[in-house]
């Protein structure tokens, strides 16, 4: 497990989104949301879909 810093504004935006749209099984918490986002991004990179 690691520790990362996330911009305060981004945290607020994600928390608001979770309150309105969160799926308690897929994104029950901010940590789950971030982990899923990182996993999805890594999956895209491995598939060669993102060249940034």
**Across the 52 residues of the chain, what is the mean pLDDT of every consecutive 10-residue run?**
90 89 76 91 89 58
pTM over 0.75: no
Could you tell me if residue 1 is inside a domain?
Answer: no
Could you tell me if residue 28 is inside a domain?
Answer: yes
Give the chain's length: 52
Could you tell me if residue 19 is inside a domain?
Answer: no
pLDDT of residue 51: 59
Full domain range(s) for residue 47: 24-52
Number of domains in the chain: 1
Does residue 37 contact residue 43 with C-beta atoms inside 8 Å? no
Does residue 33 contact residue 52 with C-beta atoms inside 8 Å? no
């Amino acid at each position: 497990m690691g520790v990362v810093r996330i911009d305060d504004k981004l945290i607020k935006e994600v928390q608001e989104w979770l309150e309105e749209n969160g799926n308690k099984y897929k994104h029950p918490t901010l940590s789950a949301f971030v982990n899923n986002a990182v996993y999805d991004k890594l999956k895209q990179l491995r598939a060669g879909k993102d060249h940034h």
